Structure 1
Amino acid sequence: MLREQSSIVKRVGSRPQTTILNVFELTGVALFTGKIVRCRFLPALPDTGIVFRRIDLLDKPCIQARASSVVSTPRCTVIGQNGISVQLVEHLLSAVYGLGIDNLIVEIDGPEVPIFDGSSKQFVQSFIEAKTVSLAAQKPIFKLVEPLEVMSNGTVVRASVADELSFSYLLHYDAKGVLEHQDYVLKFNTDRYTRQVSSCRTFSSYEEIQPLLEKGFIKGGSLENGIIVKEGRVLNEGGLRFSNEMARHKVLDMIGDLCLIGFDVIASYHGDKSGHSQTTKLAQMIEEKVLEWVHQTPQSVQEWAHIQ
């Protein structure tokens, strides 16, 4: 028998689960390896969740996109199981969450999701074209009833009790120009996410990124897939898509990392100079409490990887 409340979350309703209607493929450059990667997106059965399948490896092993699957956060979010991993999953997962997709198989022929333009725009456009359909099974909706936070080296990510879902971020660096101070608040719904967040690109300072490029750590990086700032000035032709595009991208990343909870948890999520490490830790804390509520742990991902 299921409880209505754990120590920090309570169930407040349910909604139909979803998946995509049509299969589609995307091909793009991987940011870190510089290689061309192909992804194939397939519908999935209820309770599958989001599953990555490494079709380039023997037996095509699967990785469940859950907070408990996070293995590292080196400038991106990496998930893995049994020694097999996929990195840079956050932009794709942000689109998945933003459009309310619950069940999906992502076949990928390498260890890294393509970067495209550094935002979630390509994923969102493709998911919209593929269409989303409701399934017969229901998915519980939860609400946070006690605040949580993760603090580390002057950064914080916080989940506060709220009646509506929102995401916000405060960005402030010891620098002049566009990186000195930005903030953004998203009162979440799919339309606002699509119009105001999904096209916002990842970013870096020239001083930070140039040594990494020279050492070959970012083989696929260019002005085509991220914003570069040098001495407070944006180097990309055309400038920023929004005056606070960097803060909006941080919200995009936050949504992608919190997608790993695997459930809808209504709260007000806020980051202050935080990154993937802090947000995925928060996601793990919430996931643990939600799974306490449902009195179960995730099934074997191999059992869930049903291909239509």
Structure 2
Amino acid sequence: MDKQHTLKDSFTLQGKGLHTGLPITITFNPAPENHGYKVRRIDLEDQPIIDALAENVGNTQRGTVLIKGDVIVSTIEHAMAALYALNVDNCLIDVNAPEFPILDGSAIKYVEAIKKVGLEEQSEEKDYFIVRRKMEIKDEETGSKIILLPDEQFCVNSFIEFESKYIPNQSASLDDLNDFENEIAGARTFVFVREIQKLLEAGLIKGGDLDNAIVIYERQISQEALDNLGTLLGIPFKKDATELGYLNNKEIQYPNEPARHKLLDVVGDMALIGKPIKGRIIATRPGHKINNQLARAIRKQIKMNEVQPPIYDPNIEPVFDINKIKLLLPHRYPLLMVDKIIEIGQKHIVGVKNMTMNEAFFQGHFPQEPVMPGVLQIEAMAQIGGLLVLSQVEEPERYSTYFLKIDNVKFRSKVVPGDTLIFRLQMMSEIRRGIANMKGFAFVGEKLVSEAEFTAQIVKNK
């Protein structure tokens, strides 16, 4: 199983804020397992911390803005994209201003700094959000649409449309996060000259210049008006008003750089679901608002399900077949309650039990309405948990596991002949003195049918 990662060491970057124009220092620090991304405002009293999660996004105007009470941190999306794409799961970010520095308007400076310090593998396994069915968010007013589909890895397709001959229709794609650094990270944010006046009036882009954004001049205005805009920004355009095009000091890096930057923003906004995604995003006319709406919808699903149902593909060879299971467990007919193990990690295991009418217990429970006894579902969990423990000891056939305690048992739905039960067991703590604490979940398809917490003891057989 993939393990979580954090930074090997801290790194610091400095730059100005795009919207505030303030000089900003930002430091990225290693963080413990299951910490996620958190932002700490070190310039404020008590140094408040905001979890970088979709539900904490309070504004999406020209950037993604985290808000917690009176504490604000904006323009976080480029840094979040870099962390997510480079496989950093846990990071504490210290910043001394209400926004992240814009740097060159892309994510490349963050990527370079992360690669320079390197990553450190942690002991906890990654917890993926696996997309199982189509999700779609639409904004009828803007024509924006974002679709999430099942896929074996995280992929993004971005399509943009503007009333401009310079970027009328563009697209970009990312089929492998390993390509992020070379294909996406360097794509800069962009703005139209026709938008600048309104943005300035809204108190934004005080730190904007020709080095941290692509400035697109596609509708002719008078020379005086163009010069005045440059003066307001503090960056004289030195451009003939009759010549349309890009006003930047640096050449366009890709013909579709704006589409690539919109894709970068999607990655950064999806980082706020708190888990890496296995799925494909197709974004048409994306923006931070609709990106956040999708991220919030995913977060809602995550909160509703403490653990996602495991994926069961009967075509894949099991990790343990019934013969291997019989070598590890002493149970036999009619109380061997697991048919195969399909996934196993250091702290979790997934097992399968197929239910047929031939199960002995259906004869008496109940003759007219066969239902699997709940106690046997818990017994199956315990056996599968025992396989997790026994697979990690030498000479496992010399040991057995026994219940000590069962807590928080819940039965949510009947299990009947024809069902395939899929169990996921997770260690709740390290094994100490032969005592294992686990939490188990039983699913039929995607439906959670039972769950329990239990304590077991590993005992050497006499």
TM above 0.5, yes or no, is yes
- Other structure's SS at 1:294 match: coil
Find the aligned partners of 2:80 and 2:16 in 1 and give their Cα distance.
18
Give the aligned partner of residue 183 of structure 1.
Answer: 171
- Is residue 2:161 matched to residue 1:149? no
> What is the CA distance between 1:215 and its match in structure 2?
6.6
1:170 aligned partner: 159
Q: Give CA-to-partner distance per residue, 1:133-189, whole Å, 9 cap, x none.
A: 110111222321111111112111111122332101111112212x11110111022
What are the ranges of 5 or more consecutive residues in structure 2 without an aligned counterpart?
Answer: 219-243, 309-462
C-alpha separation in 2, matches of 1:215 and 1:144: 38
Q: SS at the partner of 2:305?
A: helix
**Equivalent position amino acid for 1:156 in 2:** K
Match of 2:60 in 1: 73
CA shift, 1:31, in A, is 0.5
**Are 2:252 and 1:240 equivalent residues in the alignment?**
yes
Q: State the distance in 1 between where 2:81 and 2:93 align.
A: 14
Q: For CA contacts below 8 A with separation 6 or more, give which structure has more relative contact order.
A: 1
Match of 2:101 among 88, 101, 114: 114
Question: TM-score, length-normalised on structure 2?
Answer: 0.59
Contact 2:76 2:100 in 1 (8 A): yes
State how far apart, in whole Å, the 1-side matches of 2:47 and 2:203 are.
28
Matching residue of 2:182: 195
Correspondence 1:51-130 to 2 at 5 A: 51-130=38-117
* Deviations, residues 210-251 of structure 1 (Å, cap 9, x unaligned): 443477532100011000010161211342111101100000
Alpha-carbon deviations, 1:41-98, whole Å to 9, x = none? 1111101111100011110000000111111111100112233120001000000111
Letter in 2 for 1:233: G
Distance 2:264 2:202 in 1: 28
Deviation at 1:293?
2.5
Distance 1:238 1:107, change over 3 A: closer
User: Would the aligned equivalents of 2:273 and 2:295 in 1 still touch at CA under 8 Å?
Assistant: yes
Name the SS of the counterpart of 2:98 in structure 1: coil
Q: Which residue of 2 aligns with 1:5?
A: none
Query: How far, CA to CA, are the matches of 2:116 and 2:153 in structure 1?
Result: 28
Contact 2:40–2:47 under 8 Å retained in 1: yes
CA distance in 2, matches of 1:207, 1:32: 17
Are the equivalent residues in 1 in contact too, given 2:211–2:249 (CA < 8 A)? no
| Cα distance per residue 1:96-129 (max 9 Å; x no partner) | 1110101111111110000001000110001111
Match of residue 278 from structure 2: 266
Q: Distance in 1 between matches of 2:202 and 2:54?
A: 31
Amino acid at match of 2:269: D
Q: Partners in 2 of 1:137 and 1:82 — Cα distance?
A: 32
What's the secondary structure of 2:121's corresponding residue?
strand
TM-score relative to the length of structure 1: 0.88
Does the residue aligned with 2:181 lie in a helix, a strand or coil?
Answer: helix
Displacement after TM superposition at 1:204 (Å) = 1.0
Unaligned residue ranges in structure 1 (runs of 5+) = 1-13, 297-308
Aligned residues: 281
How far residue 40 of structure 1 moved from its aligned partner, in angstroms, is: 1.4
Contact 2:7/2:117 (8 A) holds in 1: yes
Higher Cα Rg, which structure: 2
